[in-house]
Structure 1
Amino acid sequence: MSTTETVPSSTLTTTTPVGPVGPVGRVGPVGATLAGQLAGQLAGHRKHLALVAMLFAVSMTFIDQTIVAIASPSIQSQLDLSRTGTQWVVNAYLLALAATFALGGRLADVIGSRRMVLLGISGFAVTSALCGLTPHGHLAEPWIVGFRILQGISGALMIPAALAVVVAAFPVAERGRALALFFGVSGGLTAVGPIAGGYLTQWTWRAIFWINIPIAILALVLTACAGIPSVRRAERIDLRGAALVALGMGLSVLGFEQAAVWGWRSPLTWGSLVAGVAVLAVFAAVELRTKSPLVRLRIFAAREFVVDNLVLFLAMVAFVPTFFFASVYAQVSLGYDANRAGLYLLMFFGGFAPAAQLGGRMLDRSGARRPMVLGSALGATGFALWAQHLHEYSLGAQWPYLLMAGAGIGLLLGPASTDAVNRAIDASYGEVTGITQTVRNYASSLGLAVLGTVLTTVLTGHLTSSLVGLGVPHSQAAQIAGDAARGGSPRPGSTPPAIADHLHAVVVHDFATATQGVLYGMAIALGLALLAALRYPRRSH
């Protein structure tokens, strides 16, 4: 198989076999040739300017993974959204990222990384502005969810291209440090979301979207000043594969997301789940027979690559959903405003940030197995202990376990991501990053959907039982519980005056109980990640 690289600044067109992505900081023949050409054009300070420009570009996408979670209660109340609709505001973005990331990586190779970065930044800015302009009324939910989908697609076009620019800008000897800085800073930016979201929401929740506009303008200016060359590879784009993977992921997440609304006995629920799995199976079969596939599935022949991605998948089931569920818990059960909820989540990052640095050092010294094993074990323990202390309604009783949970994920996330990129066979950095980021974002979206169903189901059951215990007839109790579990207010006249004064205390307690189920689910996911990490070969480095 061959690939054509077209460098517009010259008339030279070369055809070279695609080589493997080898150890840290090395690429195959095509990657080395391409990187050498671009590194010469980005001499001196321009390579550092290119790195800064790409960090500003991707900063919007990483911050958006967490900033919206903090503002979700305000968005829900001011736009009168259902709880399921509010989850879609978060999940639509993640699902769109996951469904189009592999396509974004391929487009960066075929159309050119600079063009895709500029398109992604511009699209992200426009869709952010439109999210912030969401009208009130019946259009609110489809409007904001629709533009969150387009925002996620813009991010998926931008991030693989941004990574390709960074890889190409630096010579091989400096590429490892540049990538470590890129992944470290961009990953750490998720910590900015809860804090910025808390402060901006005090003004208006719309500001969490509008803040992206000046960042995008700065990223566009820096990208133009960096003089990034446009380099393309003449390959076909597998649009059929892109459509299949997007449809399969969308249907599978839809089934879990809507299970609380449709019910687990509904044919719609199981039809969506079964159809999603079937379409993904068809996607895999089609890719194996496609000459220029969206994803080269033989990459998964490497055992280390499979383990890395499985650990990433299970960890991300817990990581991004933590911000949504912990934020809502802090505001419902602890009575915090958005600002204090952001500080509550900052404790999680208090463990995550230093552990991420430690995980990187462990990877350099002894490989990915040790930080993945230790991180999974620590994370599973932290989430389980955090769940046990949710009914102690204070940060003072919970902060050690938020630190543990954050530290566990911090230890494993960087090593698993980096090792996956450097273990891939016969693929470019853009393609492999597209795979790992697809895994990460699909897992986040699936985790939010599954754990959201757990929260709604447990909350409805416990609230119904609590209200029946207060003397409310079962049918009326179920109606009140259903309203509360969906995030709405009780219907007028549905709450008996005798229990109206007790309803708040009951909701606070039962919401904490439902959140326990969510955190235990996250602990189980990290426990499974531990089992997967133990399958990583001991002597593979």
Structure 2
Amino acid sequence: MSGQSGQVGPEPGRDPAPTPGKRAPAPGPAGAAAGTNRTLALAAMMFAVAMTFIDQTIVAIAAPDITDELGLTTSGIRWVVNAYLLALAACFALGGRLADIFGHRRITLIGTLIFVVASVLCGCVPAGDLAQAWMIVFRAVQGVGAALLFPAALAVVTAVFPVRRRGRALALFFGLSGALTAIGPLIGGVLTAWTWRAIFWVNVPVALIAVVLTVLARIPDTGRRERLDIPGAALAALGMGLSVLGLQQAAEWGWASAATWGCILAGAALLVFFCWYELHVPDQPLIKLRVFRDRAFAVDTAVLFFAMLAFVPLFFFASVYAQVSLGKSPDEAALYLLYFFLGFVLASQAGGRMLDKRGARPPLVAGSVLAAAGFALWAARLTDLSIGAQWPYVVLSGAGIGLLLAPASTDSVNRAIDASYGEVTGITQTVRNYAAAVGLAVYGTVLSRITVDRVTGTLEERGVPDAVAGEAARGIAQAVAGHGGGRGPVAGEGPVGSALRGAGDAIRRDFAEANQWVLYGMALALVAAFLCALAHPGTRVTEAGSGPTPTDG
């Protein structure tokens, strides 16, 4: 979403000057783009990446219907959402390196094929015991396809456009990503009204258009023989996967479980070792961590991490809340999120202008403050069970995120003077998607734990014995995410069933209270983003490659 500003830093796509003993960079854009129809190439890449961004958020709105039809557990549906984000984060840098080695056009087409086949298989999942594993596996395969597709598509755009036209092309490319992430829930609401399976099948015509345009554009495919950092890729994937596994399963395993802490600590240790390894690889590491020596780049990346802890997970939690506690249909829940994007879109434009005039620090500071306040105020009104009481704070939350997200993304590129556009984008996209996966895991654990506690108390107040109430509450916590549209918890026979039938409204309020803690957690993440933003050096890049200049902000 860094395309809100036309200001694009150090000749994007430019490789550092070759050093003795190393291979010189591949031919520049002028030669590479000969004979290429640039307009068709840009359109092809935009259609290709459209699928990857829509699928970050489109599943969230259909989560209750998917859970209801397939009988998934609460943890299972979160993995359906999170498997995509985690695979995308873990494989993004690897996808960029494969594109450099085997050719950007070739990897774009391969990634598109993998993505669309996995999409079809997600939409054709059979009901029964196999359903949960099927959905999680092929959502992860989708993420792998996106991780191949996106960096390759970005490299195509930077290769076929000369520097003087590249800024506008990249603005369109990244502007589309922000727009499609925003409309994902709206598309999901419309398609889910027909069948939730259509949210995956819709990728087929989009992929066909992307492939046809790619062929017609005559995009060159010049790879180069380079080392592939397999150990680095394995360390990154294992570290991210284990850490998210521990965080997400804590609700089921318990925070006192050795398995929970074993996964979290092992994942953290592997990520630390990955950083050490990448800093000591003598030639062509998977990620060039030296760019973090630039303080502004490090601050931008930290702000993106904390902002993304809230941004993508919000779609899942807000849509399920709207369907369970507010009794909305999927398309009505999508309209509930439209208030968020109203603020997001308007503030994104303001953030781009602030970046151009005053640098990144003002929009980062102001955006994080607005978002933190918005999420906190929104959380306080969730138990009113009224959209009318919430919408101003939903708009404010979206405005805060919109104000900071594009400037942080664009400024991170402008600051990395000694690295190529693809390298720094690989880092920021990896951080963003990993943060989204972590946020979904942590907040999901919080939601499950508090829902069980609140519902247990509600049932005990109605005379249900403690042990029975706890068991019933755990069953409701598993079922509640799958019963949108005001259907409420399922009641059985006997005294417990009678208590459940009489407690429907109270349980919906309990679920709203649990979601309050999720939004308060998101507000805290934005407070952390604010503290990071204060450390921004307050300089800006005025021209490509010209270096930073002082600002008043």
What TM-score do you get using the length of structure 2 for normalisation? 0.91
Give the SS at the match of 2:425.
Answer: helix
What residue in structure 2 maps to residue 475 of structure 1? Answer: 467
* Correspondence list, 1:376-391, <5 A: 376-391=368-383
For the residues of structure 1 that align with 2:177 and 2:9, how far apart are their CA atoms?
A: 23
* Correspondence list, 1:17-416, <5 A: 22-23=9-10, 27-28=14-15, 33-42=27-36, 46-290=37-281, 291-416=283-408
Deviation at 1:486, TM superposition (A): 2.0
Q: Deviations over 1:228-282 (max 9, x none)?
A: 1012232111011001100000000000100000000110000000100111111
Deviation at 1:299, TM superposition (A): 1.3
Deviation at 1:378, TM superposition (A): 0.6
Give the SS at the match of 1:232.
Answer: coil
Q: Deviations over 1:167-215 (max 9, x none)?
A: 1121111111111111111111112211111111111110000000110
Q: CA RMSD in A?
A: 1.6
- Asked whether the 8 Å contact 1:106–1:431 carries over to 2, the reply is no
What residue in structure 1 maps to residue 547 of structure 2? Answer: none
For the residues of structure 2 that align with 1:410 and 1:24, how far apart are their CA atoms?
A: 26
Which residue identity does 2:30 align to in structure 1? G
For the residues of structure 1 that align with 2:389 and 2:38, how far apart are their CA atoms?
A: 47
Which residue identity does 2:512 align to in structure 1? A
Tell me if 1:534 matches 2:534.
yes
Which residue identity does 2:188 align to in structure 1? G
For CA contacts below 8 A with separation 6 or more, give which structure has more relative contact order. 2
Deviation at 1:116, TM superposition (A): 0.9
For the residues of structure 1 that align with 2:294 and 2:16, how far apart are their CA atoms?
A: 20
Deviation at 1:498, TM superposition (A): 3.8
Which residue identity does 1:539 align to in structure 2? T
Give the SS at the match of 2:28.
Answer: helix
Deviation at 1:495, TM superposition (A): 5.7
- Asked whether the 8 Å contact 2:491–2:500 carries over to 1, the reply is no
Q: Deviations over 1:90-132 (max 9, x none)?
A: 0000000000001111111111110111011111110000000
Structure 2 unmatched runs, 5+: 1-7, 18-24, 481-488, 542-553
Which residue identity does 1:520 align to in structure 2? Y
Give the SS at the match of 1:264.
Answer: coil
What residue in structure 2 maps to residue 3 of structure 1? Answer: none
Deviation at 1:331, TM superposition (A): 0.2
Q: Deviations over 1:329-374 (max 9, x none)?
A: 0000000010100111111101111111111111111211111111
Mean CA deviation greater in 285-294 or 122-131: 285-294
% identity of equivalent residues:
58
What residue in structure 2 maps to residue 522 of structure 1? Answer: 522
Deviation at 1:502, TM superposition (A): 2.0
What residue in structure 1 maps to residue 422 of structure 2? Answer: 430
For the residues of structure 2 that align with 1:278 and 1:465, how far apart are their CA atoms?
A: 39
C-alpha distance 294-425 of structure 1, shift in aligned 2 (>3 A): farther
Which residue identity does 1:208 align to in structure 2? I
Q: Deviations over 1:276-303 (max 9, x none)?
A: 0111111112112212210111111111
Mean CA deviation greater in 437-446 or 196-205: 196-205
For the residues of structure 2 that align with 1:495 and 1:135, how far apart are their CA atoms?
A: 36
What residue in structure 1 maps to residue 21 of structure 2? Answer: none
- Asked whether the 8 Å contact 2:358–2:540 carries over to 1, the reply is no
Which residue identity does 2:94 align to in structure 1? L
- Asked whether the 8 Å contact 1:480–1:494 carries over to 2, the reply is no
For the residues of structure 1 that align with 2:440 and 2:401, how far apart are their CA atoms?
A: 17
What TM-score do you get using the length of structure 1 for normalisation? 0.93
For the residues of structure 2 that align with 1:497 and 1:294, how far apart are their CA atoms?
A: 56
- Asked whether the 8 Å contact 1:161–1:430 carries over to 2, the reply is no
- Asked whether the 8 Å contact 2:459–2:500 carries over to 1, the reply is no
Give the SS at the match of 1:292.
Answer: coil
- Asked whether the 8 Å contact 2:12–2:421 carries over to 1, the reply is no
C-alpha distance 494-283 of structure 1, shift in aligned 2 (>3 A): farther
Deviation at 1:490, TM superposition (A): 5.5
Structure 1 unmatched runs, 5+: 1-20
- Asked whether the 8 Å contact 2:381–2:389 carries over to 1, the reply is yes
For the residues of structure 1 that align with 2:497 and 2:233, how far apart are their CA atoms?
A: 55
Give the SS at the match of 1:203.
Answer: coil
Deviation at 1:493, TM superposition (A): 4.2
Deviation at 1:36, TM superposition (A): 2.2
For the residues of structure 1 that align with 2:491 and 2:335, how far apart are their CA atoms?
A: 33
